């Protein structure tokens, strides 16, 4: 899972299409057939294949609760980070990078 996240982050951090292709190809080549299928679907921006008319249903509320719990940051710290980014993914990324660790 760590490699999946790192590959996704690397793809997102560049605007160069050829570099995105290189990063994604290297990651996908490292996978066995079953993991390759799953990763290809997720990397396409969908959790399920188009033939399955399903969604994850993970909205702001669910993601917010998870990040709040995992990050152990105070609400005011989390609010400040969100105001800085105004993007759920960027907010979660920074919150987790600066987090002291999961709540017990």
Radius of gyration, CA atoms only, the chain = 16
Average pLDDT over residues 37-64: 75
Q: What is the mean pLDDT of residues 66-73?
A: 84
Query: Cα separation of 98 and 22, whole Å?
Result: 29
Could you report the per-residue pLDDT of 17-43, keeping only the tens digit for each?
899 889 988 998 999 988 888 888 777
Phi/psi-derived region of residue 36, left when phi > 0, alpha when psi is between -120 and 50, beta in every other case? alpha
pLDDT at residue number 102: 54
- Residue % of the chain over a pLDDT of 90: 12
Q: Is the predicted pLDDT of residue 80 greater than 90, yes or no?
A: yes
Rounded to an integer, the average pLDDT of 88-100 is 82
DSSP tag of 45? T
Q: What is the mean pLDDT of the chain?
A: 82
Domain boundaries defined on the chain: 2-43, 60-97
């Amino acid at each position: 899972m760590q490699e999946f996240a790192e590959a996704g982050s690397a793809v997102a951090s560049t605007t160069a299409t050829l570099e995105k292709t290189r990063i994604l190809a290297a990651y996908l080549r490292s996978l066995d057939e079953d993991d390759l299928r799953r990763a290809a679907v997720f990397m396409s921006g969908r959790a399920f294949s188009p033939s399955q008319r399903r969604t994850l249903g993970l909205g702001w509320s669910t993601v917010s609760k998870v990040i709040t719990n995992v990050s152990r940051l105070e609400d005011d710290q989390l609010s400040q980070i969100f105001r800085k980014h105004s993007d759920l993914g960027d907010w979660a990324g920074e919150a987790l990078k600066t987090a002291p660790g999961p709540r017990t």
